[in-house]
Amino acid sequence: MKPLDYYEHLYAHIQQTNKEIPIPIEQLASLFICSRRNVKLILNKFQDNGWITWKHGIGRGNVSHIILNFTFHQLVLSEAKQMAHTHPIDICMAFIRKKSVPVEIQKEYVTWIFSDDLYHTEQERDRIQFPSYRALQTLDPVYVNRRTENHFMRHMYQQLVKFDKNNGVHVPSIAHYWEHNGTYTIWRFHLRKGIMFHNHSELTAEDVAFSFQRLSHLNSPYKWMIKYLERIQVDSIHQVSFYFLEPTPFFLHVVSSLGGSILTPSENESSSIGTGPFKLSKLNDEKLKLSIHNRYSGYRPFLDEVVMFFFPELYDNKYASEHMLEHADLFPYPYVQKQKDDYQQKTMIDRGSKLLTFNRKQGLLAKDEKLRKALYHALSPEKMISTLKGNRYVPAFRLLREWESEITNQRHKSLSKTALEESTYQGETLHLYTYSGAGNELDAQWIKTELETLEVCLCIHVLSYDSLFSTDLAKEADLLLAEQLGDENLIYSCLGTFLGNHSIWSFHLPTKVMEEIEKQLQTNRTTNELLQSLQKVEETLFHEYSFSCLYRLQQYAIFPAHVKHIKLNALGWVDYSSLWIT
């Protein structure tokens, strides 16, 4: 055994430091399971390391004494810090876990190792690496639509066209030219030559057809995008046509989203092969690694690698201070605290919001507007923000901040009591469903506590992301709590929120509302017309108490001065393809 292993046995026996304890050599020999001679060698090593103070008992009957200068866990932490200079982070964390170190010590180590060694060059490879509280299961857009996954998938995939947020128009990407038949029932795309996938195969029209056909997967968040798609025709190796049963004038907004990502078929279904600037090198329970795609068709990023390590066992869904932020990008972890003098930061208010929907399809809330009104006015975003803190930043009231006003923003606790008395509520238990992570557990508990003051019974169900969207939520959930993600493209933000298969609104909106939204999609011809139509739909839902927006996050990028060109996207993350390190 190594000296640290012997010390573990010793500390487990004594269990205290800085106190002189009598202990015979014979007892130590029994404890270490070795000879008296080896005990002396072990004690000498302890003393050389400064771990103990040893007072040898001289003469017959005089017992030796020992003082432990450190706890065992303090020595494990010290050893792990030494290892960090010569071993990968994976090995260091495995060492700490093997020693059954308490969570608080693990948090301290995570804070230290990433603050000290966040950016470094290894074998001339420019890399950023940081911790996260949640392991990612897949980076395939056909299966998931969550903030963190979406951020990384943006770096892995390209779409037929891109949305230029500065000018509000679509520009070429995989397709260099596109056209429609005038009635928007046929869209044709002409593809660039020489675009290479991460597996070195060249992109063709067959890959485009494959990518959109697979959106029909039962639980795909983007299944709504191809609802009226009749067929996809591969006209040639570099030309593909989409035929629709209904007019689809806003197809480009859909095509430019993550749902329009182009992948190539793979023998390994879990393999995610795109054409973006980074390719997926590793994804397991311990870490995610993206590596540069050297045959990328655009400008090569400065970075060679992006590595995110997962530490879900340290996540307790609590924020400690404004510098311990779950969503602080380049350091997205709630336990990391850095000195302001050492790091710079950029901030932005999230485009999306934390959203609570009320079931308008079936159940008690569907029939009782007074009860929905009572719940709405019972939940004060201002109080929620001040109570839970973290990076919950400003109250949210409407789908888009641009649609908010002082009149619509008012909530009154007194109105909740009056509305509840006028409702048909008789003490029934309402069921709130949400998924784990993103602060949902803490938010749900706060909502439950607030409603208890109104004597409304609430049962919370926290499921995994996959399990939540495999549940019959229209039947089971009276309330749904989730993040409503924003996008640089306002049209897509609205469409994704109203129609997205993983958007909680789609489970609770009445069928007639969904049909009205789809009608607007087919009849409006300009972006302004559609936005105005969708705003009217959302305003009606707002006045009918169909939902309650709660708050918008303040997103952070916290970074050292030698990291340049930091820009936050609509998801609150930094674009890795544009930053560089001096």
Locate 575 and state its tokens.
């674009």
Among 25, 46, 70, give the residue marking a domain's end: 70
Secondary element (H or E) of residue 388: helix 381-388
* Better pLDDT: 582 or 305: 305
Among 31, 54, 70, give the residue marking a domain's end: 70
Domain with residue 488: its CATH number is 3.10.105.10
Q: Are residues 262 and 364 in the same domain?
A: no
Q: Are residues 247 and 363 in the same domain?
A: no
Weakest mean pLDDT among 153-157, 170-174, 570-574: 570-574
Query: What are the φ/ψ torsions at residue 423 (nearest 5 degrees)?
Result: -85, 180
Structural domain boundaries, residue 39: 3-70
316: in domain: no
348: in domain: no
91: in domain: no
pLDDT over 80 at 60, yes or no:
no
Q: Are residues 57 and 129 in the same domain?
A: no
345: in domain: no
Q: How many domains does the chain have?
A: 3
Among 32, 52, 70, give the residue marking a domain's end: 70
Q: For 138-149, write each residue's pLDDT tens digit.
A: 999 988 888 999
The residue assigned the tokens 């409603």 is 451
Output the average pLDDT for the chain: 88
pLDDT over 90 at 438, yes or no:
no
Domain with residue 61: its CATH number is 1.10.10.10
Q: Are residues 42 and 183 in the same domain?
A: no
Residue type, 252: L
Which pLDDT score is estimated for 334? 40
Locate 363 and state its tokens.
């159940």
Locate 339 and state its tokens.
């000195």
Which pLDDT score is estimated for 537? 92
pLDDT over 70 at 116, yes or no:
no
pLDDT over 90 at 569, yes or no:
no
Q: Are residues 358 and 452 in the same domain?
A: yes
CA angle centred on 400, ends 434 and 529, rounded to 5°: 125
Query: What are the φ/ψ torsions at residue 108 (nearest 5 degrees)?
Result: -60, -40
Q: For 315-341, write each residue's pLDDT tens digit.
A: 655 443 333 344 344 444 343 444 455
Q: Are residues 272 and 128 in the same domain?
A: yes
pLDDT over 80 at 390, yes or no:
yes
Q: Are residues 128 and 66 in the same domain?
A: no
520: in domain: yes
Average pLDDT, integer, range 330-354: 65
Which pLDDT score is estimated for 324? 38
Secondary element (H or E) of residue 552: strand 547-560
Which pLDDT score is estimated for 329? 44
